[in-house]
Amino acid sequence: MKKLLFAFLLLFFSSAYGQSQNNSNFNLNSLPANVTNQWKFHAGDDPNWADTAFNDSGWQHVDLTQEQHFLPQVRNAQISWFRLAINVSPALQNKFVALIVNQYGAAEIYFNGVLVRKVGQVGAENTREQAVRSVREPLTLQLTDAPRQYVAIRYSFNRSNMIVGYGNPVIVATFKQVEQAWDSFFDKVDFYTTRSWVSGGFMLLAILQLAIYFFNRERKVNLYLALYALMQLVTLSDGLLIPMLRSTGWATFMTVVFNIAAPLDFIFFMAMAYAFFGYVRSVYFNCLSALSFVVIIIQFIGDNAQDEHILAIFAIVCYLEIIRISVKAMREKKSGAGLFLTGIMIALLFFISFNIANFTLLQPYLLICFEVALAFLTPAIILSILLAREFAQNLIFLRSKLVEIQTLSARNLQQEIEKQQILSKQNEILEQKVTERTTELNSSLNNLKAAQNQLIQSEKMASLGELTAGIAHEIQNPLNFVNNFSEVNTEMIDELEGELKSGNVDGALAITAEIKANEQKITHHGKRADSIVKGMLQHSKANSGTKELTNINALADEYMRLSYHGLRAKDKSFNAELTVHFDKNLPQINIVQQDIGRVLLNLFNNAFYAVHEKQKGTSGDYKPEVTATTLTENGQVIIKVNDNGTGIPDAIKDKIMQPFFTTKPTGEGTGLGLSLSYDIVVKGHGGGIRVDSAEGEGSEFIVSLPIKSNS
């Protein structure tokens, strides 16, 4: 991606930054004078190239004010020389001039063949080279009386010794008058010294506000003010670091930090204003926050740290947003809004003045630094004053409240003494009433327990009634067969007597065969009724609560049929489809058969009741269906009872297991069925019971019983 971006920029700027073909020498006729495309370049290293007598006519002209990315022949050279032929006017011959060379590499500067300055350490190898950035200290030179004189620079490019971005030229050389150059240099020193003092102020402000925020996390305005001061400290810190950290690595690092910190500084500035006035961040704030990342990217691409036009425009827009919310705060008569707006307006004016001066160099460095300080310190100082005033007002308010509280406390203390005296008397009366009420409650509790026992007995009797109805219906079928075939045999015996009297032996034998067949059917259905009775006796003998190995499939199938026939005994018109999905490999488990049978009977009764109710209120193709499923899962036997009935509303799902809660009409249910089932499964067998239901679609009750239980 970086390569594509670089190729695009290279093509885009090639026309503006292309190599000049101007072969003219540099004419030094007046001061100051800037050198642009008069340099000659040659890759390689030869000490003789510094000599004034050397013939450089075959060297290539380059414009060293361009960035190295646009001078590939310079960038790709490990070490190279630059020569500048100067045509000195007679008025300047034998005069002293100042040469200011600004570069970010490793260089040796020669004037008329003499080495006059070293910047870093030039080397043909990476280990020998030491690239630094210049501090623009003037180099005082005495011109000779020769009409043509020479400046040569030996330069190495072994390391990445250029600041990131596309704004730093290879070499910028300027000739000035000596006094003017040194005055400008010392102004620059004073400028950075003053910036150091301003940076120190922001550092102290950041530490103070962070400390305040640490002890009061709810005051976000202190955090944003601290971050604002911290970002300002970062952007101004080169005033402290330039004299100490001159390596290009540090210069690159500081440029990266500046490119990131400068846009974020104004975002924290806006956040500080929003937090101070208590406003929710608007869409303008969010858009400017997103735009700050675009500005950061643009700065890295165009090295905006050197040319801050985009950043300045972005900052002015942020100032305008802060002015907008300050005006809004004034209209709403928020405290401190007028003073804050005044500070922002002053800061904006100085910021604009500073940028105009910085872009046009119309003002001295110290004045520019003064404008920087006012542009960025003014909002911080004013907000700090407002926060201090707010703190003082809160302190005064708290002190007044403390006095009120002390007065009220003394009054309350006297009232408490009086109340204690009254309460002591009331306690005696209350203790007597509590004793009386406790006696009444104990009596009510005993009555409630008796009523509860009666309701539990009623639930058991209701279950017994359901079970009895199912048993009666189940036995009725084989008994009907026995009665019917007995009546048929009685009639056929009469026919047999008639045949025997008439002497028709063959007819008598045929009737005898039919009677024999009927007797076999009577025997078959009699045994079926007997097996039903024996099965119920087998289940009912567990009244002692002893757990026995039980076939869950057989138990579920039997109670499903008993529940179904019990409901049909009440309503002959009711029909439903009974579906089973039993795991044939289901292991037998230790359970109290009667208790689990009661649970299954209750679940099947509820399921058949739900589909029956839905059938009564539905016309059309609705087919009631109840499904029983068994399986093993995670060391447990799972029993699922599904129906496609009315379902359970979400509002009462959490209540259905509570005692005495029922949705059935009065007289049709006690509300103890599911509560007792829960106790049997969870407390009695260490299992679980849960429900999954959708109103109008049906319900699924899931019972889980451990395969290995503590019996």
Q: Is residue 132 located within the same domain as residue 189? A: no
Band of residue 168 on the pLDDT scale cut at 50, 70, 90: low
Band of residue 677 on the pLDDT scale cut at 50, 70, 90: confident
Average pLDDT for 152-179: 72
What's the structural domain count of the chain?
3
Contact of 43 with 75, CB cutoff 8 Å: no
- The answer to whether residue 433 scores a pLDDT higher than 60 is yes
Q: Please tell me the predicted confidence (pLDDT) of residue 466.
A: 55
Question: How far is 266 from 336, CA to CA, in rounded Å?
Answer: 21
Backbone torsions φ then ψ of 646, nearest 5 degrees: -75, -20
Contact of 582 with 556, CB cutoff 8 Å: yes
Q: Which two tokens stand for residue 663?
A: 């949705």
Residue 644 lies in a domain: yes
Question: How far is 84 from 154, CA to CA, in rounded Å?
Answer: 12
Q: Is residue 664 located within the same domain as residue 682? A: yes
Domain containing 69 — which CATH number?
2.60.120.260
Q: Is residue 145 located within the same domain as residue 288? A: no
Cα four-point dihedral sign 204, 210, 214, 219: positive
CB atoms within 10 A of CB 503: 8
Domain containing 360 — which CATH number?
1.20.1070.10
Band of residue 357 on the pLDDT scale cut at 50, 70, 90: low
Query: Which is more confidently placed, 536 or 120?
Result: 120
Evaluate the omega torsion of the peptide bond into residue 364 and state whether it is cis, within 30 degrees of 0: no
DSSP secondary structure letters along 114-171: EEEEEESB--SSTTT-B-B------EEEE--S-SEEEEEEEEE-SS--S-SSS--BSE
Residue 115 lies in a domain: yes
Q: Is residue 344 located within the same domain as residue 200? A: yes
Query: Which is more confidently placed, 483 or 606?
Result: 606
Average pLDDT for 166-183: 80
Q: Is residue 246 located within the same domain as residue 122? A: no
Q: Is residue 116 located within the same domain as residue 214? A: no
Q: Which of 193-197, 463-467, 497-501 has the lowest mean pLDDT?
A: 463-467
Q: Is residue 226 located within the same domain as residue 360? A: yes
Q: Is residue 122 located within the same domain as residue 231? A: no
Domain final residue, candidates 133, 154, 176 = 176
Q: Please tell me the predicted confidence (pLDDT) of residue 8.
A: 39
- The answer to whether residue 536 scores a pLDDT higher than 80 is no
Q: Is residue 246 located within the same domain as residue 326? A: yes
Domain final residue, candidates 374, 392, 410 = 392
Q: Please tell me the predicted confidence (pLDDT) of residue 579.
A: 93
Q: Is residue 58 located within the same domain as residue 85? A: yes
Band of residue 361 on the pLDDT scale cut at 50, 70, 90: very low
- pLDDT tens-digit map of 572-588: 888 889 999 999 999 99
Q: Which of 119-128, 139-148, 281-290, 540-549 has the lowest mean pLDDT?
A: 540-549
What is the three-state SS of 599-612?
A: HHHHHHHHHHHHHH
Structural domain boundaries enclosing 359: 185-392
Residue 324 lies in a domain: yes
Cα atoms in the Cβ-side hemisphere of radius 13 Å centred on 434: 6
Q: Is residue 572 located within the same domain as residue 555? A: yes
- pLDDT tens-digit map of 685-701: 889 999 999 888 899 99
Q: Please tell me the predicted confidence (pLDDT) of residue 462.
A: 58
Confirm whether pTM is higher than 0.75. Answer: no
Cα four-point dihedral sign 455, 459, 462, 468: negative
Domain final residue, candidates 353, 373, 392 = 392
Residue 3 lies in a domain: no
Band of residue 167 on the pLDDT scale cut at 50, 70, 90: low
Average pLDDT for 292-314: 71
Q: Which two tokens stand for residue 644?
A: 């496609």
Residue 481 lies in a domain: no
Amino acid at 189: V
Angle formed at CA 70 by CA 64 and CA 74, multiple of 5 degrees: 60
- Residue 339's beta-bridge partner residues? none
Residue 319 lies in a domain: yes
Q: Is residue 111 located within the same domain as residue 227? A: no
Q: Please tell me the predicted confidence (pLDDT) of residue 133.
A: 67
Domain containing 651 — which CATH number?
3.30.565.10
Residue 77 lies in a domain: yes
Residue 504 lies in a domain: no
* CA distances in angstroms from 651 to 557, 644, 678, 692, 693, listed in the order given: 32, 19, 20, 13, 12
- The answer to whether residue 227 scores a pLDDT higher than 70 is yes
- pLDDT tens-digit map of 82-128: 999 999 999 888 999 999 888 777 889 999 989 998 888 887 766 66
